[in-house]
Amino acid sequence: MLDYVGLESELSQEERMVRDTAREFVDEKVKPDIADHWIDGTFPMDLVTEMGEMGFYAPNLDGYGLPNLSETAYGLLMQELEAGDSGLRSMASVQGALVMYPIHAFGSDEQKDEWLPDMGRGEKIGCFGLTEPQHGSNPSGMETRAEEADGGYVLNGSKTWITNAPIADVAIVWARDKTSDDNPVRGFLVETDRDGFSVNKITEKLSLRASITGEFGLNDVFVPEENVLPGVSGMKGPLSCLTQARYGIAWGAVGAAMDSFKVARDYATDRDQFGKPIGGFQIQQEKLAEMATQITTAQLLAHRLADLKERGDLRPEQVSMAKRNNVRMARDQSRIAREMLGGNGITADYSPMRHMANLETVYTYEGTHDIHSLILGHDLTGIPAFE
Ligand code: TGC
Ligand code: FAD
């Protein structure tokens, strides 16, 4: 895989081992049939617990049997998973960064004991419910509400575009607490078999097909007081989870681009036209040169982010810059790779077009490209331009 400026030499032995283990897992267990899953619109469910056994969920968290790896190792893992398919990295992002992270950061001791070991092993699956039908880029407009009831809360509302919702055991539901002043947003752990919880699978997606997406409704769903995340109140709860997941996406997108580059370079040196490999023509070489340069620049940004995160100096706006840049880069470069494969490039036999289609989702979720532009614009000028 592409490492043009020798970032390998900066890695610790443990980080190399994590990267190599994940790469081998993806090569042996994912690549052989991920295209079939993508076409069928299924997720390789047999890999859910295997990924848990390998420590792929919340690898940067400590305690509860979790690996407590470096932020670089976490990033490399996301890179390798997304080199397989963005749907695989999404599974790890949602489980680790969007469900286990808030339980770890904001949960009670009982919530941590109940959920983190099982989720770390992949024996329980979680989903993260923030987006609503009428509130996507502006989640603070959410209408889902929680009202105090005897011993707990009653939840009403709906969430859509929720990764893993149809296969989840628990949903983290972000809702406005109607009984407190100012109706702060709070997080609720909602077991998906509770009365009044209903879920539908979203089918006919043309992107991220090897990932299960759904919508769920909450119709007078009762949850006991002990299911409320006690450690956070307000939008910074869900938004801080997004920072963790966006960090992983900034690395993951690079993996999809690296895989596309590898496929395109191999093809260019193998495919003959006009009596020589197409990689011998200047136009194809320029494409490879540009691809390698863009990927390397994104790798450098991801590695720098890891250093800042490790020291506790990483700002959410810096994560926005990397998510915005690296996903756009991967979206553009996977398209160039597809183009270099000619007619074969539009088949599922080669990964670039699958990556390219997946990256349309990655460009959109976890804050659209536009929203990250506005976050950066706000940071650079001090003037918010969201409304
Ligand atoms: P705002 O007033 O700016 O902030 C409210 C409070 O939150 C703090 N904060 C953050 N903290 C941590 N990380 C961040 N990224 C943060 N952004 C803001 C902020 O400091 C403040 O704290 P405090 O203490 O002062 O209260 O909040 P806002 O409601 O105006 O939000 C602004 C905006 C537009 C940037 C935000 O809403 C946004 O990011 N919108 C995009 C929506 C989005 O990303 N949705 C993602 C849904 S989940 C998903 O897509 C999963 S895909 C999973 C997969 O399959 O991989
Ligand atoms: P909208 O917010 O309606 O945006 C539409 C367009 O308008 C976009 O181009 C946007 O950039 C632009 N726009 C919006 N506001 C502005 C503005 N102020 N200025 C300029 N342009 C603007 N959500 C979850 O909560 N959990 C999940 O697990 C999850 N998984 C997902 C999986 C998939 C496959 C997909 C597609 C989405 C998922 N999402 C999830 C939802 C995702 O986060 C939202 O789709 C995303 O935040 C955008 O919201 P929206 O689709 O409502 O678009």
Asked whether residue 181 carries a pLDDT value surpassing 90, the answer given is: no
Same domain, 156 and 282: no
**CATH number of the domain that residue 284 is part of:** 1.20.140.10
State the chain's mean pLDDT as an integer: 97
What are phi and psi for residue 192, nearest 5 degrees?
-75, -5
Per DSSP, the residues of 227-283 read: GB-TT--STHHHHHHHHHHHHHHHHHHHHHHHHHHHHHHHHHHH-EETTEEGGGSHH
pLDDT tens per residue, range 350-381: 999 999 999 999 999 999 999 999 999 999 99
CA angle 74, 79, 80 (to 5 degrees): 100
Does any domain span residue 131? Answer: yes
> 180: pLDDT confidence band, cut at 50, 70 and 90?
confident
Last residue of a domain, one of 68, 102, 120: 120
Does any domain span residue 145? Answer: yes
Give the number of other CB atoms < 10 A from CB of residue 98: 25
What's the domain count of the chain? 3
pLDDT tens per residue, range 67-109: 999 999 999 999 999 999 999 999 999 999 999 999 999 999 9
The token duo for 298 is 């994104």
What's the rounded mean pLDDT across residues 143-148?
97
Exactly one of 215, 339, 366, 387 is catalytic; which is it?
Answer: 366
Tell whether ligand 1 has an atom less than 6 A from the beta carbon of residue 139.
yes
Does any domain span residue 1? Answer: no
> 40: pLDDT confidence band, cut at 50, 70 and 90?
very high
- The ligand placed nearest to the CA atom of residue 379 is 1
Which residues form the domain of 356? 236-381
What's the pLDDT score for residue 356? Answer: 98
Tell whether ligand 1 has an atom less than 6 A from the beta carbon of residue 210.
no
pLDDT tens per residue, range 282-308: 999 999 999 999 999 999 999 999 999
What's the rounded mean pLDDT across residues 27-31?
98
Tell whether ligand 1 has an atom less than 6 A from the beta carbon of residue 240.
yes
What's the pLDDT score for residue 336? Answer: 98
Tell whether ligand 2 has an atom less than 6 A from the beta carbon of residue 361.
yes
What's the pLDDT score for residue 129? Answer: 98
What's the rounded mean pLDDT across residues 332-344?
98
CA distances from 96 to 7, 71, 74, 131 (A): 26, 13, 10, 18
The region of weakest confidence among 127-131, 165-169, 178-182, 345-349 is: 178-182
The token duo for 326 is 């690296």
pLDDT tens per residue, range 218-272: 999 999 999 999 999 999 999 999 999 999 999 999 999 999 999 999 999 999 9
Per DSSP, the residues of 239-255 read: HHHHHHHHHHHHHHHHH
**CATH number of the domain that residue 108 is part of:** 1.10.540.10
**Ligand 1 center to residue 74 CA distance, Å?**
22
What's the rounded mean pLDDT across residues 340-344?
98
What's the pLDDT score for residue 377? Answer: 98
**CATH number of the domain that residue 199 is part of:** 2.40.110.10
Please report, rounded to a whole number, the percentage of residues in the chain having pLDDT higher than 70.
100
The token duo for 53 is 């056994």
Residue 114 and residue 92: Cα distance in Å, rounded? 19
Same domain, 172 and 192: yes
Q: Give, using CA atoms, the residue closest to atom 20 of ligand 2.
A: 370
Residue 335 and residue 355: Cα distance in Å, rounded? 9
What's the pLDDT score for residue 11? Answer: 98
**Ligand 1 center to residue 323 CA distance, Å?**
14
Does any domain span residue 386? Answer: no
Catalytic residue list contains 191: no
Q: Give, using CA atoms, the residue closest to atom 34 of ligand 1.
A: 138
Pocket residue to mutate for ligand 2, from 246, 360, 364, most atoms within 8 A of Cβ? 364
Residue 302 and residue 329: Cα distance in Å, rounded? 13
Pocket residue to mutate for ligand 2, from 43, 85, 137, 386, most atoms within 8 A of Cβ? 137
Tell whether ligand 1 has an atom less than 6 A from the beta carbon of residue 97.
no
What's the pLDDT score for residue 143? Answer: 97
What's the pLDDT score for residue 342? Answer: 98
Asked whether residue 319 carries a pLDDT value surpassing 90, the answer given is: yes
Same domain, 108 and 141: no
